[in-house]
Amino acid sequence: MYRAKEMKLGRIFQVNFDPGDDYMVELHKFVKKENIRAGSIFLLGALSKTEMISGFRSMEGYDVTRHTFNDWRELVAYGNISWPDKPPAALGEGVVWDEPQPYIHIHMALSGGPGKNDDVLVGHLSNGKLKGGMATQIYELL
């Protein structure tokens, strides 16, 4: 059985950041400043450092595989924005969550790095430093 909720399109943002920016930190600041409570996010660009979760090793708790890449990689991604009352389990243990705040959940396809562009990894974007531009579009949902 499916569940559906009709939503309306609110504001649309084209967000640009500077090379070297800590992408998720800056994105989180923007979403909080603009008070985007729900939305879809699309991004296309490259990171010079990437932190990602590529999947669950088992279905026991939050048993995930984490990767950090210190070479540039291109990505294409889609995600959603919400403001949950409690921290999502996907954040893992030890997260400070004093009040509801933005949760930006991004799934991506990431290139294998220089000389390995035929390799593709998929997973969740945890963080990254921008190599150059990152085309980021946010569609607010009301």
Domain ranges for the chain:
10-86+102-141
**Check: CATH 3.40.640.10 for 10-86+102-141?**
no
User: 119 or 13, which is more confident?
Assistant: 13
> Does the structure show a pLDDT above 70 at 82?
yes
> Does the structure show a pLDDT above 90 at 90?
no
> Does the structure show a pLDDT above 70 at 94?
no
Which band of pLDDT confidence, cut at 50, 70 and 90, is reported for residue 50?
very high
E-only strand ranges, the chain: 9-15, 39-56, 64-69, 73-82, 103-111, 120-141
Q: What is the pLDDT of residue 95?
A: 65
Q: What is the pLDDT of residue 4?
A: 95
